[in-house]
Structure 1
Amino acid sequence: MYIFTTASILFGAALLEIRGQPVNSPSDNSPRIRCDYTFFKDAQGWFKLHARPATWHDAQAVCHSEGSSFLYPANEVLMDTALHLMTDASISTIHTSMTVKLESVTLNEEGVFLRAGLNDSFPFICKYKVESLLLNECGTVDKDYQFYNGTAHCYKLHKNKANWFKAEAACKAEGGQLAIINSQKEAAVIVDIFKNNPADQIPGHFEFGKGVAFIGFRSLDEGHSWTTINNETLSEAGYAEFCPGEPNNAAGNEYCGSVRRTGKLLDDPCTRELLFICEKKPEEHDN
């Protein structure tokens, strides 16, 4: 192990003196961005410590998939936040950043930066910061949730692709659910969501992946029938219009539901990584 600098030791030592004081503590009265992130008032952001060790690149990918960024404690407030989370979880070392020599920079429980290999696995912290703490009309500070008059519901197109199960978990963490199309009017809303997110604004190289998103239905009997995550058949939910020739189970394991830019439904492998659409009612938020 290599200690970064004498300054980093002094910086960490000074923070250890601060940690006994209520300089930066979790707030229970703030709006939540996700139920699995904790808001710290002084840091003006939400943070999540992932206790399961990961390599540096995998840790970056996890934060990105959650719509957040990798925490590098560049100032005293962020350092105090990191040490607070580490202490609460009994974690001694986390990934933080990368050096110009392509080495990982870790942070230990004493506030000291150390070098490690990028392929070494450590816990890590993701952070989510927003420009404003004011709730929007969707009952969240997440500006990506947009209210649509056609259904009086809010929707968010996640551009960070995920498999169906991770997509469902992400929507729940944000206080919503994978979108369910209940009518032609709601199908038109889905079309509008895609129009507001043109393909050239979505990361990736393949056009197909920019025009299909997971939503809240799947098959539990290998494609013989389809139900929503609310345990309704598509007909009971109010919309069952598939693309021509679909569902066709072309890959032999297409048991999760998706929607094209046209508003028509598809079957896709549950493990395929796609865009996904979350839906929430305006009153579904935490204060």
Structure 2
Amino acid sequence: MGHLSIGRIVSVFCVWACAVNIKVYSQYRQDYTYYPETRAWFKIHKVPTDWNEARLKCYFEGGNLASPINDRVYAVMRSLMLVQSGPVFTGVHMMDTAGDYYSIEGIALDQMPIQWAKGEPNNLNNTERSLAILPDGTFADVKSSNILPYICYKPKTGNESISSDCGTNAKGYELDPVSNSCYKYHGDCVVWHRAHMVCSAEGGHLVILNNDREAQLMFDRYSKRPVNCNGDDASSSHRFYYIGFHNIDVDRAYWFTLDGRRIEEAGYSNWAAGEPSGNHERCGTLLRDNSGLNDISCDEWLPFICEITNPKTAFNP
């Protein structure tokens, strides 16, 4: 048997080590890519939105809007822009017209390797308070209300892990082995569409009830959980949770779950007495006392419950 050269040994070890590292690093989220030179994961969101929504989306995914906080991060951002045809939001933002630009991490603009595009920054009409990176890697100030793609960034801390039961890095999900779903209660009150976005960012959806047992499970697990809605005990926030069904038409007969089924087809259509009741109440809730479904305005501020179905496939590489 021939002897392996030192170079061959190093090469074999590198292949093995790199494979191991890729497996470890991919454990954050399957939809993020790890860049070892930055010790961080990145994801470019190609579906555009405004700056505030982009910031929240990155936050609920566990990261931040990416800013060129050093040369290594800037290099990755530039590489991601090679396939873009227009500007992309960064996390650099001015809080008010008299302020200065900072990254979400609190790093000042003059401490970042910013290369301005020609004629920038110009703060057109004193309305441009966010920075966007352009396809050539330069930067421009833009309106925060612009609708743009964006880059999320998650630095490695060593605490990242995917739940072996629930298939997500988001904390707080609890497995129910009977339904084979994981559930999470959010006590911070939001409007229905924000609740939908939060659950989606965590790899799930607003809970879809399939039978009486699942409704009872929500009551048993979450009916006594606290509500963070400014302590207004008389508000509807202490009576309902948002769940995953809504009315998409003026015809009040048709209520659909988030996976496209009529609630009758999903398996649970037990309305509370007198419900559904409101002509402008198009979003679905469950009463915390387990007395059935209720319709409500989508702009009410309520707690909500997320669900991850088939959790083994949620974010596993």
Which residue number in structure 1 is paired with residue 32 of structure 2?
38
Which residue number in structure 2 is paired with residue 84 of structure 1?
79
Query: Could you tell me how far apart the structure 1 residues matched to 2:313 and 2:304 are?
Result: 19
Deviation at 1:134, TM superposition (A): 3.9
Which residue number in structure 2 is paired with residue 47 of structure 1?
43
In structure 2, do the counterparts of structure 1 residues 191 and 41 end up closer, same or farther at CA, with 3 Å as the change threshold? farther
Counterpart check, 1:104 vs 2:133: no
Query: Could you tell me how far apart the structure 2 residues matched to 1:91 and 1:284 are?
Result: 33
Query: Could you tell me how far apart the structure 1 residues matched to 2:231 and 2:55 are?
Result: 20
- The count of corresponding residues between Structure 1 and Structure 2 is 251
Which residue number in structure 1 is paired with residue 182 of structure 2?
154
Deviation per CA, 1:241-261: give whole Å up to 9, x if none.
333332111xx2222312232
In structure 2, do the counterparts of structure 1 residues 176 and 58 end up closer, same or farther at CA, with 3 Å as the change threshold? closer
Taking structure 2 as the reference length, the TM-score comes to: 0.60
* Contact 2:207 2:306 (8 Å CA) reproduced: yes
In structure 2, do the counterparts of structure 1 residues 60 and 134 end up closer, same or farther at CA, with 3 Å as the change threshold? closer
Which residue number in structure 2 is paired with residue 219 of structure 1?
247
Deviation per CA, 1:35-81: give whole Å up to 9, x if none.
7x5232433334334674745x5654454466643333434443333
1:243 pairs with one of 251, 272, 276:
272
Query: Could you tell me how far apart the structure 2 residues matched to 1:88 and 1:204 are?
Result: 45
Which residue number in structure 2 is paired with residue 255 of structure 1?
282
* Contact 1:96 1:104 (8 Å CA) reproduced: no
Deviation at 1:103, TM superposition (A): 3.1
Query: Could you tell me how far apart the structure 2 residues matched to 1:134 and 1:58 are?
Result: 25
Q: CA RMSD in A?
A: 4.0
Amino acid paired to 1:82: M
2:165 pairs with one of 129, 133, 137:
137
In structure 2, do the counterparts of structure 1 residues 61 and 230 end up closer, same or farther at CA, with 3 Å as the change threshold? closer
Amino acid paired to 2:43: F
* Contact 1:150 1:186 (8 Å CA) reproduced: no
Query: Could you tell me how far apart the structure 1 residues matched to 2:90 and 2:289 are?
Result: 43
Q: Secondary structure at the match of 2:273?
A: coil
In structure 2, do the counterparts of structure 1 residues 67 and 273 end up closer, same or farther at CA, with 3 Å as the change threshold? farther
What is the percentage of aligned positions where both structures have the same residue?
24
Deviation at 1:147, TM superposition (A): 1.1
In structure 2, do the counterparts of structure 1 residues 195 and 255 end up closer, same or farther at CA, with 3 Å as the change threshold? closer
Segments of 5+ residues of structure 1 without an aligned counterpart are 1-26
Query: Could you tell me how far apart the structure 2 residues matched to 1:260 and 1:53 are?
Result: 33
1:179 pairs with one of 199, 204, 207:
207
In structure 2, do the counterparts of structure 1 residues 111 and 203 end up closer, same or farther at CA, with 3 Å as the change threshold? farther
In structure 2, do the counterparts of structure 1 residues 182 and 167 end up closer, same or farther at CA, with 3 Å as the change threshold? same
Which residue number in structure 2 is paired with residue 21 of structure 1?
none
Segments of 5+ residues of structure 2 without an aligned counterpart are 1-21, 104-108, 131-141
Query: Could you tell me how far apart the structure 1 residues matched to 2:171 and 2:164 are?
Result: 7
Which residue number in structure 1 is paired with residue 65 of structure 2?
70
In structure 2, do the counterparts of structure 1 residues 93 and 69 end up closer, same or farther at CA, with 3 Å as the change threshold? closer
Amino acid paired to 1:126: C
Taking structure 1 as the reference length, the TM-score comes to: 0.65
Deviation at 1:93, TM superposition (A): 6.5
* Higher Rg of the two aligned structures: 2
Counterpart check, 1:121 vs 2:143: yes
* Contact 1:176 1:284 (8 Å CA) reproduced: no
1:189 pairs with one of 212, 217, 231:
217
Deviation at 1:274, TM superposition (A): 4.8
